[in-house]
Amino acid sequence: MPLLPRRSLLLSALAWPFAPVLAVQPRPLVFPRDHGSHNDTRTEWWYLTGHAEDETGRAFGFQVTFFRSRVDVAQALPGRLAARQLLFAHAAVTDVQAGELRHDERIARWNGERPAQAEGGVWASTQDLQVHLRDWFLRRAADGRYTTQVQGDELGIALTFTPRQAILLQGDAGFSRKGPAPGQASFYVSHPQLAVHGELRLGGRRHRVQGTAWLDHEWSETLLHPQAVGWDWIGMNLDDGSSLTAFRLRRADGSALWAGGSFRAAADGNAPDAAQPFGPEAVRFTPLQHWTSPHTRARYPVRWAVDTPAGRFTVQAVIAAQELDSRRSTGTVYWEGLSDLLDASGRRVGRGYLEMTGYAQALRL
């Protein structure tokens, strides 16, 4: 559940009187079309996270996220130059041995149409997963494999992701509630337990790596309740092949406004709709240890107890310093990083990503 762009930054807080008023409603999802972009919805993202090791056993975490946001004030403007959509991308690599995180970001306008020349440029396909921000991209091939490429000054990511299990439909067959009001919801599809191989670059050093990843795809018209200041989310690949998702939306006093998630056992990995969904009262996040950012002075829980119907777990950040400052693109600061999943006895049973928003300042979409 990655960080979303601020509406004030995107100018979409201005009410365009002729913009379509859409409400997210449950419907059967159809693939591969629903892997692609849904330009009539307000917000969408494709979110890759994972962990990998090089030939020496050096461990890394990585995330690549592409966002699309509809610009309502431009929807009725004529011509191919109208910026009806904005595309963003974030990328980060955590070097566990060095104890550091490097990240980069991109932002560009898009008219919502696919260019005649499909390579490069700024665009997203409505038929399948293909998102391009010039030399940054995320694609899905006909055989189901995903590839991504990111080239920045301090980092590079060139990875291929091979499915070992089916996609996972979150919530009710892919329709995921995010608040007490019916419209506070998203379509939410995950692809856990992806096998990863490729290359990571940190500065001038390149690492051939292999590991395991997780892909989330969500799209929505309205997501956050007015009282929500941020959220806490985990997506965990368990070592036995199972998959755990848990999230909560948080009020300013730290209490949970809404919560949810799912668990899919390894034996059900080939069934998209076999996950056990969690109701809003069945998930609880309890902070156990905090870290204060020397850059923003935001105070983040970096060790959590997470109670779910699938069991009680501890989520422990692999390193504490995994804060991302994205004020050049989405206009906010958040924590997102590689974390271990421990069972009730303290034994590590999985690894994945923890994301926390609204700690440096209240999140405003």
Assigned domain for 217 exists: yes
Average pLDDT (327-331) is 61
Q: Can you tell me the distance from the alpha carbon of 193 to that of 189, in angstroms, rounded to the nearest whole number?
A: 14
The β-bridge partners of 341 are 315, 350
In a domain? residue 5 = no
Question: pLDDT (tens digit, 9 = 90+) per residue, 256-282?
Answer: 999 999 999 999 999 999 999 999 999
**CATH code of residue 123:** 2.40.370.10
In a domain? residue 15? no
Domain containing 236 equals 31-357
Per the domain annotation, does 329 fall within a domain? Answer: yes
Q: What is the pLDDT of residues 2-39, one digit of tens each?
A: 544 433 333 333 333 333 334 556 889 999 999 999 99
**99 close to 80: Cβ distance less than 8 angstroms:** no
Report, as an integer, the average pLDDT of 169-189: 92
Q: What is the dihedral of CA 188, 328, 326, 3, to 10 degrees?
A: -20
Average pLDDT, integer, range 58-63: 98
Does a structural domain hold residue 101? yes
Q: Is residue 24 domain-resident? A: no
Identify whether 244 is part of a domain.
Answer: yes
- The number of folded domains in the chain is 1
User: Is 159 domain-assigned?
Assistant: yes
Residue with tokens 């935001």: 298
pLDDT at 247: 97
Whole-number Å distance between alpha carbons of 365 and 363: 6
210/325: higher pLDDT = 210
- Helices within the chain (DSSP H only): 7-10
Which tens digits make up the pLDDT trace of 217-226? 999 987 678 8
pLDDT at 328: 61
